[in-house]
Amino acid sequence: MSILVNRENYVIVQGITGREGSYYTLEMMQYGTNIVAGVTPGKGGDWIHGKPVFDSVIAAVDATGANTSVIFVSAPTAPDAIYEAIDAGIGLIICVTEGIPIMEMMRIREYLKQTSTRLIGPNCPGVLTPGDANIGIIPGYISKAGSVGVVSRSGTLMYEAVHALTNANMGQSSIVGIGGDPILGTSFVDVLMLLEDDPETEKVVLIGEIGGRGEAEAAEFIKARMTKPVFGYIAGQTAPPGVLMGHAGAIIVDEKSTARAKVAALRAAGVRMADNPQELPELMRY
């Protein structure tokens, strides 16, 4: 069993004819992901990597039965791409695009509440179920199948942690990058709920960073609901207030958004915290 992604995801790639869309489509296909089509307005009728290209999401869904979309379009067109996928009945949308304005994402999040669609991202690396399916830009070779669930705001830190786990022979059940923007479609708590209910997941790794309240909300959920052991790492412990640290959401605006406050909250919830991602495997042995 897996959360969110497996071989039953019939995936379309919005922006498949672009440079990144084309490159990662081939990467996903080589991993074994069930890519069924692409969507690029004006390119309908074309083929790329042996997959048909459609002018619209609804046309792709009607022809292929797609239930999942991964978005590789530019920031100005990404909101419309998300709305189009929602209106076409896509159940899972993974938006890799970064730079979507906060106000646009606030509107999208409100729109999502009226539907059954789940959005991962934006500005996220995607979702990987090792040995099963990889949707997004996560390098599949760093992972191996196992029982550790991983959820992270940062793609790079997630890659480092997953690689360390794999080298320590600690395979992963599901790997989810929720994205680093201030407004996200899926939160830490949303993913923790899924991992808590997943019989294939025995331990959980949470990787956070400065900015926002996502990690504090995760700490509250872990303390109240989680029965599985959780291990964590928070980046940005030396970050000065008011300075953007990579992600749009990684900025300290008050004391609660500092790395120190988040580490304290997670520790109070029973999470065993590492000082860097490389320490996680050793921490998890005991």
Q: Would you name the residues annotated as active-site residues?
A: 247
Average pLDDT on 197-211 reads 95
Of 247 and 55, more confident: 55
Please give the model's pTM, rounded to 2 decimal places: 0.93
Q: pLDDT tier at 191 (50, 70, 90 boundaries)?
A: very high
For the cut 70, the answer to whether the pLDDT of residue 111 exceeds it is yes
Look at residues 232, 200, 199, 202 and name the one whose alpha carbon lies nearest to residue 214: 232
- The full set of domains in the chain, from first to last, is 11-120 (3.40.50.720), 139-284 (3.40.50.261)
Look at residues 23, 65, 58 and name the one whose alpha carbon lies nearest to residue 39: 58
Alpha-carbon span 144 to 169, nearest angstrom? 8
For the cut 90, the answer to whether the pLDDT of residue 51 exceeds it is yes
Q: What is the dihedral of CA 32, 37, 41, 44, to 10 degrees?
A: 140
**What stretches of the chain show up as alpha helix (H) in DSSP?**
19-31, 57-64, 78-87, 102-112, 155-167, 188-197, 214-225, 259-268, 280-284
Alpha-carbon span 261 to 129, nearest angstrom? 31
Task: Please give the full DSSP string across 220-260, using - where no structure is assigned.
Answer: HHHHHH--S-EEEEEE-TTPPTT---SSTT----SGGGSHH
The DSSP bridge partners found for residue 235 are 209
For the cut 50, the answer to whether the pLDDT of residue 33 exceeds it is yes
Average pLDDT on 155-181 reads 97
Q: What is the pLDDT of residue 128?
A: 98
For the cut 60, the answer to whether the pLDDT of residue 148 exceeds it is yes
Q: How far is CA 53 from CA 20, 73, 237, in A?
A: 16, 15, 46
Q: Please write the tens of the pLDDT for every residue from 224-280.
A: 999 999 999 998 665 555 555 555 544 445 566 688 899 999 999 999 999 999 999
